[in-house]
Structure 1
Amino acid sequence: MGQEGEEEVEVAVAEEEEAAMKETKDEESWNQKKQSLIVEISSKLIHGDLDAKIQAARDIRKLVRRPSSSSSSASSSSSSSSSSSSSVKTRSKLGAAGVIQPLVLMLVSHNPDARESSLLALLNLAARNERNKVKIVTEGAIPHLVELLKFQNSSLRELATAAILTLSTAASNKPTIAASGAASLLVQILSSGSVQGRVDAVTALHNLSTCKENTIPIVDARAVPPLISLLKECKKYSKFAEKTTALLEILSYSEEGRAEISKSNGGILTLVETVEDGSLLSTEHAVGALLSLCQSCRDKYRELILKEGAIPGLLQLTVEGTAEARERARTLLDLLRDSPQEKRLASSVLERIVYDIATRVDGADKAVETAKRLLQDMVQRSMEHSMRRIQHRASSCTPSTIPST
């Protein structure tokens, strides 16, 4: 490299160093300004009049969302990471500055702008910040949010739904939310809310259903029809379908829930379709719900399940599902195989179904071998099941009722 080339490299390095120094100074300057803004916002929320509080709540949203001044000069990926990290720190500093309590108090204001601005500010403070989520609940936000769920104002109601969803992701908040009566109001939103409101309600209910401290179910049978309707409309392999089927499986554990599933328009069919087309998790929940139905009363439910064409999907699940889903599918197939309708299924038809599944799983070149293995497994399980039934009948007989040989 010649002298001219070396000088060009030195100039480029010097320019990079100068840009880096300017970026650092800009960042320091913005951080100082941001700290001043945090103090100002906190002061307005604690000491200001209602108009000042509303403006301060709006300023929180702007401050949290505003990227650092240096991010515009960085690459897109590093810019996004820097902005996200900056937002996390800003949320933490705002929470530490004492803004949460006055925002919670604004939720009960008679001024709609005050309620909306405080809701949006709390949502922004809670996003990706566990400490703020816990503090919002500790400061008594949940009863106020439950009241907002009852409002006719759909905007406030669905902002409250989003807030409960966000807060319910923190494990320590779940018992408080579950005990608040929010779940029954979220169930109402499943039927009457906007698309986003219904999605948020399902996700919040799913979060609450994982709370081990709950002594009673979060959802009751009233949730079945809207959940079935939502499952029909969504993609069966989506995360939303996984949450919906999880709730339906929980509901299938009660007699009221099972009755609602069976009489809902397309209820059993929708679960069968999810077994065929769902993700690993949604198929596991869907087959769990169907199994719960059949185990509770085979005479009542197995014909309904067979009528919806469940056999192919269940056979496929015994090969492709999770370990739990495979076991559930095999158990359900055993229960369905006892029905007169299933016995009328010609062996050639069953073999063709199994062969088609084997082709999709292992390809045409290995389909015969896979199909043979599947059929052998089905026969073996059927024999074992029959033997268990014979042994059970024999052990339950008294000496006087055992036929003489």
Structure 2
Amino acid sequence: MADYEDATTPSVPDRAELVGRAAALRDQLWEAADEADRQRRLPEKTIAALTGAGLMRLMTPRRLGGYQADARTVLEVAIEIGRGCCSSGWITGVVNAGNFVVSLFPEQAQNDVWKDNPDARTALVLGRPVTDIEPAADGVVVTGRWPYASGCLHAEWMGGLVLISDGPGKPLVHFALMPMEELTVEDSWHFAGMRGTGSNTVVADRVFVPRHRLLPYLPVLHGETDGVVDPGNPYRNSLTGVFSIGLIGSVIGGADAAFRYVREQASHRPVAGSTYANQAASPMFQVDLAEAAAKIETARLLGVSITDRIDHCAAASVNPDLVARARSRMESTHVTQLCREALDLLLTAYGSSAFAESNPLQRIWRDVNVGSRHAGFGMGIPQQVYGRALVGQNPRDISLLV
């Protein structure tokens, strides 16, 4: 475990154990992936398996029954799960990121979530904040909608952004932590890929949020939370990095699953219109396979590099500077681009039957193409953010997600 582990904390599984648990579920997740795609949500048996393996409590505080694992562990777990089902890897990553944010709330809020259930899951949305807020005694009353809420179908809690006034001056964005039983879910997730994530719209209709379940957003985002949250939390400086880890892990896992499938099928698939005995005998197939393998391995190594920097800063209680933060966002984006490029090579090498509805490759292709275009990775913003930081200008003039 990481250097910050206290000898008095309960024994928790190490990285190898947790990654092994995820790998042991791969075949089960692979079998259930088609059902998740058709139903536009993860099957309950999948959620039960992931929860039973402890993979929904990776970032939950140890004092409340969680593992408080490092970022490298979250990445490697998400990769293994993504090898079985991209949507399952995505949900696991988002839920653990949501739990990470809850770990930054006051102790009373953490107890609300985990005191009676260490496996409690939190969906998280970092989109536009809701503005229909009414002040109330010891809290606020919230009315609004949060689209693209991955994990909302399987979470007990929801963390959404709201714009409220904490006194005189400009209103500030806060996380509002709300129980899902007080919210409704609008069935709005009709997408070509990552269908199993069920990333629907969550709706609040005059939901009361007590003050202890409101947390200022920017200090958390910027890693400036000393005195706001538990200073002993080793990952208090890493929201942007932690949030992307599970997402890129899912995409890497999906790309690797496609690579393994194409390679395994090569020895008995023909090369149409040629004299080659099979695809494995074709030099062009070999070239495409090699190119795809290199892209996927490069993506994995970049992901590991990102997590190792997060873990190093967390263990040293160092807040990464803006260049380091912008670099992580840029590299996360590059990870997803590499995986998308690898999928294109693999499906071309396999042939047009990869797009048959009965072929798992087309599902993975859809999942990776949608996942790699998440707002955090798209529109050229990560490149602009990193470039601005590299020339000594403030990248937050372009995006706060740094």
Could you state the TM-score of these two structures normalised by the residue count of structure 2? Answer: 0.23
Q: Specify which structure has the higher proportion of helix.
A: 1
TM-score (norm 1): 0.23
Q: Which has the higher contact order (CA 8 A, sep 6+)?
A: 2
Which is greater in Rg? 1
